[in-house]
Structure 1
Amino acid sequence: MREFAERTGVIGHAPPQRYLWTDAFAVCNFLALGETECAERLVEQVHAILGRHRADDTRSGWIGGMDALTAIEHPTRGGLRIGKPLEERAPDALLDAELEWERDGQYFHYLTRWMHALDQFSRNTGHADAGRWARELAQTAHRAFTYAPAPGAPLRMYWKMRIDLSAPLVTAMGQHDPLDGLITTLQLRAHRPAARVGHGPDLDVELREMAAIVAGTNLLSDDPLGIGGLLVDAYRLAQLLRVRPGDNPLLGLVTGAAANGLTRYLATQPFARPLENRLAFRELGLAIGLQAVTRLWTVLERDAASLDAQPTLRRALDQLVAQVPLARAITDTWCDVERSNDPQWRAHEDINAVMLATALVPSGYIELGESTSSGSSSQL
């Protein structure tokens, strides 16, 4: 993490290079390692760089059109850029699916990662404004990414938006974006710091609408990064529930989808493939999720009777616990690759290194601090 901080300008003299997904994990890692000053500097840099238009853009200033004084108080109100190397696609340009991966814009699932990072920063440091920034970002993202295809039709979500959130760049819906939004909203609502009266939007509407979108989605995925995300979401939800977590239908749905997806993924024998055909950060996402499984089991076993009354949830949990040793196998593999100075590793060095650090020391990312529940999570 120190090498990442030096390489990307969090500390030292290198010019800052910010990428929202990687930086969200990095903030949590710095918190876990007791490097609060690095976490704070990173938060400041992300807002100052990704909260503004690109240097090669005809537009300038803060994405939300705010003046400097307003932006100090509300740095996330306009959303945050991804930080991709290429500028966003021109309005009249045809979509090139491959090139779009390298183009800037805003991703909902990157914004939820940053909301989570801000909330973790607030919980760990007592920085009440960070929690408010997370809530304001949640409100902004929800308004921009959700839409009704026709009057009265169920809400859906765009996958990628323009930097200024004026229009979609990719209209398809990310499979787990609604679930990310729902559980992150629950997390933000559960944290009401006493140090500041104005803790931001209450997110009631966002919670209800996101729950409705989740109800119509299929969560099953055989992608290792997606499975890992489901496992972390399941553990976050279990931490947020205040009464009989084993009785919660959403928790059962998420855990079951993760167990079934992991079975499908392992059936493809992914770890028998040559390393050059594997992506470290995607496998490390699974390793991070597996780190949450034993913690999830511990939470659910506190009410063993409730868990035993749900045999489907019990079976899914048992399946997942049996695969926990995979986390060590994955991290050992990529630790060896990292030490070998492999060119493929270096091609994605920042995201690989930060997610490897998370897999090795996951507490900053997957463990939520103490907070006061708003009561809504027990109703889902």
Structure 2
Amino acid sequence: MAQSLNTTTVRDLMIEFAGQTGLLPPRARPRRYLWTDAYAVCNYLELFRWTGDRTCRDLALALVDQVHHTLGRHRDDDPRGGWISGLPEAEGEAHPTRGGLRIGKPLPERRPGEPLDERLEWDRDGQYYHYLTKWMHALNRVSRVTGDPTYTRWAVELAEAAHAAFTYTPPSGGRKRMHWKMSIDLSYPLVPAMGQHDPLDGLVTYSELQATAGGTDLSPVITDMAGICRGVNLATDDPLGIGGLLFDAGRIVHLTIRDGFLYPDLLDSVLDSALAGLARFAGSGSLRYPADYRLAFRELGLAIGLEGVPGLLEAVRENPDLFGRGGGRERRAEALMEYVPLADAIEGFWMDDGNRKADTWLQNPEINTVMLATSLAPGEFLAV
């Protein structure tokens, strides 16, 4: 019964999203945003898995096509035209991710030499690494569901383009680092600081692609990213960040079982950081605030990560040769289970129609709608 109710709710949410953004019915200028669309692709695939309705699968494929033809090309208000990779039309059609993908922000990117306005930068276009890794994951899921390797090939091409552009060796030497935000054409950094979880995200996502794409050797970029990860402090009390840690922890566990992750010891640091963050977040009392003081998509990111914890614990227990029987990893996973009820609390709060009338929901309706749907039907997003 619960799945039947969720199927109806998730379908309704994703139909609403399709209409809001110009996916269905299709508009000549749809409103595409890479982070939201990555989750949405997984949601349509999950609905297809639940119902067998090919319309849901076709919506996932149509969304991929819209993203590539919108965010893989220059903006309408940009004097440049065509694919952001600079490839000719036909070659760009065959390789739509070779130049990366725009974020989809409302304002044009900051030009070279233009002073940085930190507040305005949040609304400016460009490329975010952590959005690109989410899209790599979504493309890989499309290949796994449809059996068409083209989507994973596009994910690999995106990984190669992103890695080449976002990673760099400091002029003073030493270990490689990463930029947080790059220009639309990946030619210069817009925000040079490194995202806290970007190296971890990259390492796990590259490993996921390596495990799927037969004949593809991503070992050089995987080694690069492992080096950048070394010594990075992963601890955060941001609910979206904690959810991301749980998402990566689940992928590490399942890739380790498939012999597809070369750095299993990293799992301890990820689990410890997630537990520390959960303790701080749960103790903050923020879930008792009214909707006007809460950000749904950040909380729902945590709920999505928590939805994967039971499967993580089960996988650890079923593979004691890899993770130890009754050892530290199992105890950490068991400790995470204490926080799983937070997911129900978050989902229940944002399922309330009254809470979805708050300004904080209405200011970000599409990302909130899609991530609520993912938290209710997280299977495809959490899959590897």
Same fold (TM over 0.5): yes
> Aligned partners of 2:323, 2:177: CA distance in 1, in Å?
33
Q: In structure 2, what is the Cα distance between the partners aligned to 1:256 and 1:337?
A: 36
- The residue type paired with residue 334 of structure 2 is D
Q: Which segment drifts farther, 51-60 or 23-32?
A: 51-60
1:163-312 equivalences under 5 Å are 163-192=184-213, 201-242=216-257, 248-304=264-320, 307=323, 311-312=327-328
Cα drift, residue 260 of structure 1: 1.1
Separation in structure 1 between the aligned mates of residue 161 and residue 264 of structure 2, nearest angstrom:
29
| CA drift at 1:241 | 1.1
Alignment of 1:331-350 (within 5 A): 331-337=347-353, 341-350=357-366
**Residue range with higher mean Cα deviation, 51-60 or 342-351:** 342-351
Structure 1 equivalent of residue 15 of structure 2: 2
Alpha carbons of structure 1 residues 93 and 222: separation in structure 2 relative to 1, 3 Å = same
1:317 matched to 2:338 = no
Corresponding position of 1:12: 25
4+ runs of 1 displaced by more than 6 Å?
A: none
Instruction: State how far apart, in whole Å, the 1-side matches of 2:177 and 2:130 are.
Output: 14
Residue 84 (structure 1) aligns with: 105
Aligned pair partner of 2:367 in 322, 345, 351: 351
SS in 1 for 2:190: strand
Partners in 1 of 2:69 and 2:324 — Cα distance? 50
Alignment correspondent of 1:24: 38
Aligned equivalents of 1:175 and 1:137: distance in 2? 21
1:100-115 pair list within 5 angstroms:
100-115=121-136
Q: How far apart are residue 341 of structure 1 and its match? A: 3.5
Query: 2:38 touches 2:134 (CA, 8 Å); kept in 1?
Result: yes
In the other structure, the counterpart of 1:134 is 155
Aligned-residue offset at 1:91: 1.6
- 1:209: Cα distance to partner? 0.3
Residue of structure 2 in register with 1:378 after alignment: none
Deviation at 1:238, TM superposition (A): 1.0
Aligned residues: 361
Instruction: Output aligned runs, 1:32-43, within 5 Å.
Output: 32-34=46-48, 35-43=56-64
- Is the contact made by 1:259 and 1:317 (CA closer than 8 Å) also made in structure 2? no
Which letter maps to 1:27?
A: V
CA contact (8 A) 2:317 2:325 kept: no
Code of the aligned partner of 1:32? E
Partner of 2:4: none
Q: Identity across aligned pairs (percent)?
A: 50
C-alpha RMSD of the superposition: 1.8
SS at match of 1:33: helix
CA contact under 8 A between 2:242 and 2:274: conserved in structure 1? yes
Instruction: Specify the code of the residue in structure 2 equivalent to 1:159.
Output: W
1:59 and 2:90 correspond: no
> Match for 1:131: what amino acid?
T
Residue identity matched to 2:378? P
- CA deviations on 1:271-327 (whole Å, 9 max, x unpaired) are 122221110000000000000100100100103476555743333222210111111
Query: 1:161 matched to which residue of 2?
Result: 182
Gaps of 5+ in 2: 1-13, 49-55
- In the alignment, residue 257 of structure 2 is paired with which amino acid? R
State the secondary structure of the residue aligned to 1:18. coil
Q: Are the equivalent residues in 1 in contact too, given 2:168–2:178 (CA < 8 A)?
A: yes
Separation in 2 of the partners of 1:238 and 1:232?
Answer: 10
- Equivalent pair of 1:225/1:285 in contact (CA under 8 Å): yes
Partner of 1:376: none
Deviation, 1:216, is 2.4
Query: What is the CA–CA distance in structure 2 between the aligned matches of 1:301 and 1:309, rounded to whole Å?
Result: 7
- Could you tell me how far 1:151 is from its partner in structure 2? 5.4
Partner of 2:52: none
Inter-partner Cα distance in structure 1 for 2:356 and 2:91 = 47
Q: Distance in 1 between matches of 2:258 and 2:16?
A: 43
- Name the SS for the 1:169 alignment partner: strand
- CA–CA distance in structure 2, aligned partners of residues 306 and 37 of structure 1: 38
For 2:219 and 2:265, locate their aligned partners in 1 and report how far apart those are by CA, in whole Å. Answer: 20
Distance 1:305 1:130, change over 3 A: closer
Q: 1:338 to 1:178 in 2, by over 3 A?
A: farther
**Alignment-mate amino acid for residue 176 of structure 1:** H
Deviates more, 1:333-342 or 1:63-72: 333-342
Q: Residue type matched to 1:112 in 2?
A: T
Which residue is 2:171 aligned to? 150
TM-score of the pair, normalised by structure 2: 0.90
In structure 2, distance between residues paired with 1:338 and 1:168:
41
How far residue 264 of structure 1 moved from its aligned partner, in angstroms, is: 1.4
Asked whether the equivalents of residues 296 and 360 of structure 2 are also in contact (C-alpha less than 8 Å), the reply is no
CA, structure 1 residues 13+131, in 2 after alignment: closer, same or farther (shift >3 Å)?
Answer: closer
